[in-house]
A and B are shown apart, each in its own frame.
Chain A
Amino acid sequence: MLLISCPNCGSRDETEFHYGGQAHVAYPENPNELNDREWAEFLFYRDNTKGAFAERWLHSTGCRQWFNMLRDTVTYDIQAVYPMGTPRPAAAPAAPESGTASLAADSTTTGTAAPSISGTSTSAPSISATGTTASTTAPEGATK
């Protein structure tokens, strides 16, 4: 059982949450210009990362709010919890405060880590569903 620290409610059992899939999948900037293959990749193709993975979670039996989480798919180590709409923080280099039982204060780590990564666009999913134009602006307002 994972112990997930909801930004609003604090640490709760995993059973109170619902998984929302990969985070930071940007809606295409020009949907009309996509061909079928690009649409399919946008809709259905997701990363299958081994290691740190940014994903969305919903605290469905608590505050009913969405948030993003950076989780290691191998160790289940929860490296960061951060709000929707903010860019993905840098993959934590085994920071001391990382851990499954960390408190909600984790969400503040995004403030320091965000600027270094938002410009590179490598933090966003590596699928090229939306072409070059969309992927460079991935996190802005399209993270839901």
Chain B
Amino acid sequence: MANTAELNGVNGLRDIRRSPASHLAAALEAGSVQGTVVLNEGPFQTMAGVRVDPRSEEGGRIAAAAGGLPARCGEVTGKDGVSVLWLGPSEFLVVAPEQAHDSLGGNLIGSLTEALGDAPGQVVDLSANRTTFELSGPRARAVLEKGCSLDLHPRSFTPGTALNTEVGNIPVVLQKTGEESFRLFPRASFADFLGRWLLDAMREYASPEVP
């Protein structure tokens, strides 16, 4: 977890906020194999759940505020550090750096709410709903393939896409951010399980390879 103590939220509550897998930080560091596969919990993010018909007028306003709405499964749109992930035909997850939150001086939730107006749909602040695991390294795909049945080969799962699926039998949003780096968004209550599951899946890569 990044040290963001300089950010003072409402009544200083920001200072005592703990991320869902913060108790695993030392284990994640110990379990990572530098140069092979590295796992850590990402910083807090501002997330907003958006439900809107993308073909409607309000959908167009939301798209303008968020930097586009993805049209189909896997697509990710966005601008200025904001990612919009496709969760369903009319359901999207907006992910932005923590500073974009309204209580920390940003305007993400407010601008989306304003763009929706009174039209049918919803914009919900989900910043505390999910945490972020960052998995990277040449063996990152092999680790994920132990518990994810999707085709994660680069020919079908390309950088800059995100899929709503299961990893280790729990629902996560799996985003591929680079050739060998992934972001996993499990719900907070699954963070402990997924962190330990990933550590277990990474363990074999700490040992010398058996020819």
A64 touches B166 (CB 8 A): no
* Interchain CA distance A8-B149 in the complex, whole Å: 17
Interface majority SS (helix, strand, loop, mixed), chain B: strand
* Interchain CA distance A62-B149 in the complex, whole Å: 13
How distant is A54 from chain B, measured CB to nearest CB, in Å?
22
Within 8 A of A (CB), among B141-164: 149-150, 163-164
- The answer to whether residues A10 and B73 also contact, given A63-B88, A64-B87 and a CB cut-off of 8 A, is yes
Q: How many residues of B contact A (CB 8 A)?
A: 14
Whether B103 is near chain A, meaning CB under 8 Å from some CB there, is no
Q: Which residue of A lies closest to B156 (CB)?
A: A10
Contact of A61 among B73, B89, B91, B164 (CB under 8 A): B164
How distant is A88 from chain B, measured CB to nearest CB, in Å?
22
- The answer to whether residues A8 and B88 also contact, given A13-B149, A61-B171, A63-B73 and a CB cut-off of 8 A, is yes
Whether B207 is near chain A, meaning CB under 8 Å from some CB there, is no
Contact of B89 among A10, A12, A63 (CB under 8 A): A63
B166 touches A65 (CB 8 A): no
Whether A9 is near chain B, meaning CB under 8 Å from some CB there, is yes
Contact partners of B150 in chain A: CB under 8 A: 12
Q: Interface digits, A1-26 against B, CB 8 Å rule (1 contact, 0 not)?
A: 00000001110110110000000000
How distant is B157 from chain A, measured CB to nearest CB, in Å?
12
Whether B4 is near chain A, meaning CB under 8 Å from some CB there, is no
How distant is A91 from chain B, measured CB to nearest CB, in Å?
28
| Extra contacts besides A13-B166, A16-B165 (7): CB < 8 Å | A9-B163, A12-B150, A61-B166, A62-B73, A62-B164, A64-B91, A65-B88
